Structure formats: structure tokens, C-alpha cells
A and B are shown apart, each in its own frame.
Chain A
Amino acid sequence: MGNCYKKQKTSVRSIPDRRNPEDQDDMPYMLIMNNNTAASAAATANTSSQSTGWWRPVLRQRHSRNQTNDQPTWSFCKLTEDELDKHVLETLHILQSSAENDTTLILRMRMFRFWANGETGWNMVLSSLVRAIPLEDVLGPSAITLFIDHCPLPTKQAVLKFISNLQLSHSKAEEDIFQCKSQSKSARHRNICAVLGHLAESLAGPLSIAMLTDDALEYFIAGLDKTINNCQVPIVDILYSLISLEKFAQTGDNKTRIKQTKFVEKLMILENWRDSNDYKKRQVGFSAQWLLDNIFVVEGRKFTYEKVALDNINAMLNCNDVSEYLKISADGLEARSDAASFESVRCTFSVDSGVWYYEVTIITPGVMQIGWATKRSKFFNHDGYGIGDDEFSCAYDGCRQLYWYQAQSHRHRHPAWKEGDVLGLLLDVPNSEVIFYLNGDALPPERALFNCARSGFFAAASFMSHQQCVFNFGAEPFKFPPKNREFNSFNDHAQLTDEEKLVLPKHKKLQMIRQSSMKENSCDLCCDLEANIILQPCGHGGICHKCAEIIDSCPLCRSPIEERTVAEAEKS
């Protein structure tokens, strides 16, 4: 969780539409201690001359002439790019290190909101995100969505200006990705994808269409070609190209345009990385496959759910017990979120007694809260609450190194998790213990979960944006089975029907629901066939022809049936 990730949609104001060309002065200011003004001005003077040139001399607030040196006074100073970048990095650091420090984080986010409250300011803040967020930061892309959500909604002009400033094009993409091998260049491409992707999602509709210029589309697709041919492109660039285009495709016109490019063709190749041992490739493969199953449906391609082997799988992530944006693989054992919300899911199988164990392989080392929950645990994905954030669930968070219960956390001694690590989760009901293992190394037992819950425990997890992991409920051998006690696996005790094992793409699911609601007129007895028979002489209906043949008295009034007539199809 938690509070710090809460979206503040209601309080976000939009940037005032500034049409008056005279009104240029909407640059953000920062408050600084007066004694430092000169230093700050000097430090930024040289950057300003070479870059944007919008920096202007410090505006001093009126203050006493005979100020003493040790009495700090305050003045406003135009915000510089360097200052802004520094703030972004510091905030990123706070985000990662402490979940308890909510107030600091909220204050900092308010500062960004204040700065972004004007076209120039908004542009500066977003440019700073593109520039400053380092590639290696595990929370980088998640943080970008968070920052943008805390800024006011931009005007159309602000967005288009921001995009034109980025000078997106095919060649720019090559420049960002290949020509300079330095880390910062690669981060630029990824950050642009993450920023634009999130904007496309939050501004879906005409604005999203306006954002996806031909050049922008080129910029996103440019990297894919080369990668597939000779693997020269950093995989993270491909991944975020996919994610970004997924978000643009939420607007129908964009989806049609993207489908006309070579993008879908590339996805079919990238899909083969699905089971790669390189975890970055695996993310690309998972995303490509998900896109092909859910968004860019190709005629003639079999859906993954139609060909996946599920014979020995008896427990999986429950695709009917999940918040709305989580992506679940067709085998029901891998999940990923690319949404800005905090997405949660429970397993299909629950346990009441005994000792149980499952494992999770970490694909992305960002914020996930993985643990145990009963049915009563709530998924408030939009408010940032998930597993470990109420009294009916507890969770392990290997990124911030925290244990969560009731939205309260305390630090554990494990190092931060990395990709490929294996989290083990043991639930010992008779002894009221929950034990977490990282690569076999056990933490001391936690017992708080049993304060409010005695039975009905499910394996469960919550995901921050761009996080992914693989669950093993026992269909595969465990990598680090606990040695000191006997345990069971869900897979050995659970059972699923073929129908329950189906993890359908959303559009298929909707289709099924539509079909079944078309069957509104189904027989009251078998609930299966169409109810099109009227019994005579009583005139009661609601029965299909098959059932009507079997009975000889009306199920409602018991009067003998003399004749079965076909109801007139309702003319619509």
C-alpha cells in the first residue's frame, strides 16, 4: 500500500487555459532561504544561458534593509531545471525507502502540483521526469505515473507543446536508443514511453488521438525492428514501447492506426519470448502475448487460452476474484499490472486448517505485496489498498523491505528482492503462524493475521504498476521447500473444472456474458434452452420444449397438460 499512492483525482485542478499571449509569466517559482539566493542564482546562471534561457534574475520579496545574517529571510526564485530534477530524484528516493513517511511524500507531491499549475510549469515538470528518472531505478516508471497523477490535468495546448518539444521521430528514436550507449539515453526513451503512455491513458479520447502523431508512432515502433533482428536494442525500450502503445490503443482510432503498422507483426515474434529465462525478455513476451490476446486480435492466430496445457494445474489465480486491470496469463499462474492503480488477486483455492506453502518467482523487483487473505479482505485498487492493508490479510513487500498488516508496516531483515528471487510463503493454521522465505531464508513467524481470521485463507497478491511475478501453487516442484515442517500444496488438494480453468481475454468474457444475457429467456427448469413453450390449458410458460415433453403436469399450478404450444416469438 498505501496512503502515499492514493490518487488525488478529486482535488486535481486543471491548468487554466491561457489564451492571452501577453500572459506569458506562468513560470513556477520556488521559495528559498534568502541567504542562499545569491548562491542559487549563481549556480543556475550558467545552465540557463546554455539551455532554455527562461531563467530570469531572482525576484526578491520585500524585506527589511538592515537584515542580520543569522536571521533567515525568504524569497522567491524562479525554479530551475536542475532544482526540479533534484526534487524529482529526492522524491523518488523517499518513495522507495519509507512507506511510513507519508506526510513528507504528500508535501512533496503538493509541491509538484504547485509547480505544474501552469502551462510552462507543467511542461517543465514533465520534461524533468523524462530527463531525470534513472533507468536502473526499480520504481522509475511507477513513479512517473504517480507524479503525473499529482499534477493538474493539462490543456490540449500544453500537451501538444510538450510533445512537439520532444521532437519525436524515427531518427530521434534511433538516437535515443542506439547512438549513445550511455544509460541516460536509454532512460530517455523509456521515460518518454512511460510519460506519453500514461498521458494517453488518462486523456483517452480526442486528446490521445492528437498526441499520437505519425512521428510519435514512428518513435515507438522504431526500436522493435532492430531488436528482433540482432538484439541490439535494450529490452527495456521494447517493453515500454509495447506498454505505451497499449495505452494509446485504449482510444479506438489509435488502435486502428497502430494495427495498420508493422507493430502487430512484431508482437507475433516477441510473443516467443514468453518463457524466456531472461526476465526482461519474459516481460516483453508476456506483454506481447497479452496484447495479441486482448487488444490486437489477429485473424487466424489461436488465442493462448485455446492452446495452453492445464492438465496438471489444479489451483490458479482466480480470474473472477481480481481487480479490473490485472493481467493474468492463460495458465493462471503469472500476473502483471501496467495500470496506475494497486491491482490485487486471490487464488482459486482456500484453506481452513493444516500447513500450506506456495512460492512466487519475482520477475520485476518493484512494489508487490504478496501474502495471504480471506474473502473479507477488500481490493480498493484505486485508493492504493490491497493485500496487507486490512485486518484480513498480510503481505510481504520485498522492494521496500516491509511486512504489511492492517495497512501498517514494519521493516524485515531481508535484502531488497531482485528479479529471479523466490519468495516462499508458509501458512501454519494450527500454530497460527505465517512465515516468509526469500530464497529459502526464513523470517521470524508473524501471527497478527490470526487476530481476525481463523479460516478461509487464500494466497493473494497486490501489484503496483509495471510489476510481474509467477506463482507456483505446487504444479511444479518447489525450489526452496521448508525443511522443518510438513506442508501441503494447493495443487495436490484442489480441483478445478475445465470451465473454471479458463482465463478468457476480456473481450471473450464480455462476449460470453452478452450471449448468456441473450439467453435471458432460458427455461426455468433446466436453465439451459430457450423457454418457448406454453402449457395448455393453464397457459403457464417459462419452459423449453425438452422439459415440457418430460412433465405431464404444470410445475407451477399442477394442472394436467393437454397440449404444448410454441410461444410466438416476441417481435422486436
Chain B
Amino acid sequence: MAALPRRIIKETQRLVSEPVPGIQAIPDDNNLRLFHVVIDGPKDSPFENGAFKLELFLPAEYPMAAPKVRFLTKIYHPNIDKLGRICLDILKDKWSPALQMRTVLLSIQALLSAPNPDDPLENEVAEKWKEAEAVAIKTAKEWTRKYAVPDCK
């Protein structure tokens, strides 16, 4: 395996030593470019009390190319599709090498607080969100309870 770029080492160290509140990111034992992420559903959002698993991968071009991030936990959200892909500008054309894993994860956390149905990835969900927000939020809460709340063993 090629040596890990200093930039990734630095970011990883900081993520581990000063974690972002509500976000856990742990590098994979075998692939130090792969991170197992858990984002806590933000308070006062339909995702509250949920723990959403994601995976974040740093491609070889990183930081010149954006990290690849996707949700592993099912979520009812206008900007996240069935496969967990995320519609977020900074992960696409608005990526800048000055951004970091930390800022990307914070943006995703913010996206959970403020869904943006005007720039949808999942049309059906976005429609619902626009037409009957209360119903959409209710569904989102149900999904959260069903898929994202850890079982109490």
C-alpha cells in the first residue's frame, strides 16, 4: 500500500483527538482511506435520536477530488436517495480542496437539520415534503425509529 499522504494523516489524527460533537469517524483497520462514520440525528429534527451510519472514502485524488460519502442507514430525506447517495453541492461541483472530512461531515449533519426539497435527489420524497410537510416529517420520524434507533438490548 502506498504511504498515506500527510494531509490524510493530519486530518485523521485531528478527527480522533478532537471529534466533532455528534459525529464519530473511525478509520477502517485495513484501509486507512475508508472511514466508518456515525452521525447523530440533530436535535429538533425528524431524525432526532437516530444514529445514522455512513461510509466515507478518500479517493486517490483527494484532496483535489471530493471524498465519497454515502448513508448506510435508510433515511427519509429529500436530498438522500434509496442507495444512500447524498445531494450536496460541496460533494460535487462545489468541492474545494480547502474543505476537509470534518467540514463535509458537518455539512451533512446540517443537511439533516435543514432538508432542501428544492434541490431534490429523491423526487417523491421532495414532493411530499413540499406538499404535506407534516406528513413527510411524520414518515421521516417513523423511518428514524425503524431504521436508525439502536435496539435496546
Residues of chain A whose beta carbon lies under 8 Å from any beta carbon of chain B? 495, 497, 524-528, 547, 550-551, 553, 555-556, 558
Known contacts A495-B29, A525-B63, A550-B64; is A555 also within 8 Å of B7 by CB?
no
A residues in contact with B29, CB < 8 Å: 495
Q: Looking at chain A's contact residues, is the secondary structure mostly helix, strand, loop, or mixed?
A: loop
Is A551's CB under 8 angstroms from B97's CB?
A: yes
Pick the contact of B96: A497, A550, A556 (CB < 8 A): A556
Choose among B4, B7, B9, B30 the residue with the greatest number of A CB atoms under 10 Å from its CB: B7
Asked if B153 is an interface residue, CB under 8 A from chain A, the answer is: no
Is B6's CB under 8 angstroms from A528's CB?
A: yes
Docked pose: A551 CA to B95 CA in angstroms? 12
B residues in contact with A526, CB < 8 Å: 5-7, 63
Docked pose: A77 CA to B131 CA in angstroms? 100
Pick the contact of B97: A495, A497, A525 (CB < 8 A): A525
B8-59 contacts to A, CB under 8 A, are: 9-10, 29-30
Pick the contact of A555: B5, B9, B30, B98 (CB < 8 A): B98
Known contacts A555-B96, A555-B98, A556-B98; is A527 also within 8 Å of B10 by CB?
yes
Is A527's CB under 8 angstroms from B97's CB?
A: no
CB-nearest residue of chain B to A528: B6
Is B97's CB under 8 angstroms from A547's CB?
A: yes
A residues in contact with B30, CB < 8 Å: 495
B residues in contact with A525, CB < 8 Å: 7, 63-64, 97-98
B90 to chain A, nearest CB (A): 11
Docked pose: A543 CA to B27 CA in angstroms? 27
Docked pose: A558 CA to B9 CA in angstroms? 26
Is A558's CB under 8 angstroms from B96's CB?
A: yes
B36 to chain A, nearest CB (A): 14
B70-101 contacts to A, CB under 8 A, are: 96-99
Chosen A-B contacts, 24 in total, with CB atoms closer than 8 Å, are: A495-B29, A497-B4, A524-B98, A525-B63, A525-B64, A525-B97, A525-B98, A526-B5, A526-B6, A526-B7, A526-B63, A527-B5, A527-B10, A528-B5, A528-B7, A547-B97, A550-B64, A551-B64, A551-B97, A553-B96, A555-B96, A555-B98, A556-B98, A558-B96
Is B6's CB under 8 angstroms from A527's CB?
A: yes
Q: How many A-B residue contacts, CB cutoff 8 Å?
A: 34
Docked pose: A565 CA to B30 CA in angstroms? 41
Contacts A547-B64, A555-B96, A558-B96 known; list 19 others, CB within 8 Å: A495-B30, A525-B63, A525-B98, A526-B5, A526-B6, A526-B7, A527-B6, A527-B7, A527-B9, A527-B10, A528-B5, A528-B7, A547-B97, A550-B64, A551-B64, A555-B97, A555-B98, A555-B99, A556-B96
Contact-residue size bin, chain B (C-beta under 8 Å from the other chain): 10 to 19
B140 to chain A, nearest CB (A): 32
Docked pose: A550 CA to B97 CA in angstroms? 11
Choose among A495, A497, A526 the residue with the greatest number of B CB atoms under 10 Å from its CB: A526
B69 to chain A, nearest CB (A): 19
B residues in contact with A527, CB < 8 Å: 5-7, 9-10
A residues in contact with B97, CB < 8 Å: 525, 547, 551, 555
CB-nearest residue of chain A to B5: A526
B91 to chain A, nearest CB (A): 15
B58 to chain A, nearest CB (A): 13
A residues in contact with B99, CB < 8 Å: 555
A502 to chain B, nearest CB (A): 14
Q: Which 6 A-B pairs have the closest CB atoms?
A: A555-B98, A527-B7, A555-B96, A527-B6, A528-B6, A525-B97
B residues in contact with A547, CB < 8 Å: 64, 97
Docked pose: A556 CA to B6 CA in angstroms? 20
Docked pose: A558 CA to B29 CA in angstroms? 35
A538 to chain B, nearest CB (A): 12
Docked pose: A556 CA to B99 CA in angstroms? 9
Docked pose: A525 CA to B97 CA in angstroms? 6
B residues in contact with A551, CB < 8 Å: 64, 97
B residues in contact with A524, CB < 8 Å: 98
B62 to chain A, nearest CB (A): 10
B125 to chain A, nearest CB (A): 30
B93 to chain A, nearest CB (A): 10
B104 to chain A, nearest CB (A): 14
CB-nearest residue of chain B to A498: B3
Docked pose: A553 CA to B64 CA in angstroms? 11
A415 to chain B, nearest CB (A): 41
Docked pose: A551 CA to B99 CA in angstroms? 14
CB-nearest residue of chain B to A555: B98
A residues in contact with B64, CB < 8 Å: 525, 547, 550-551
Docked pose: A526 CA to B9 CA in angstroms? 10
Docked pose: A495 CA to B4 CA in angstroms? 15
CB-nearest residue of chain A to B95: A555
Docked pose: A550 CA to B5 CA in angstroms? 16
CB-nearest residue of chain A to B7: A527
A residues in contact with B4, CB < 8 Å: 497
CB-nearest residue of chain A to B11: A527
A residues in contact with B7, CB < 8 Å: 525-528
CB-nearest residue of chain B to A523: B7
A residues in contact with B5, CB < 8 Å: 526-528
B88-134 contacts to A, CB under 8 A, are: 96-99
Docked pose: A527 CA to B10 CA in angstroms? 8
Choose among B10, B63, B99 the residue with the greatest number of A CB atoms under 10 Å from its CB: B63
Docked pose: A20 CA to B80 CA in angstroms? 88
Docked pose: A550 CA to B98 CA in angstroms? 13
B residues in contact with A555, CB < 8 Å: 96-99
Docked pose: A513 CA to B47 CA in angstroms? 44
Docked pose: A495 CA to B28 CA in angstroms? 12
Docked pose: A524 CA to B10 CA in angstroms? 11
Docked pose: A497 CA to B29 CA in angstroms? 12
B133 to chain A, nearest CB (A): 33
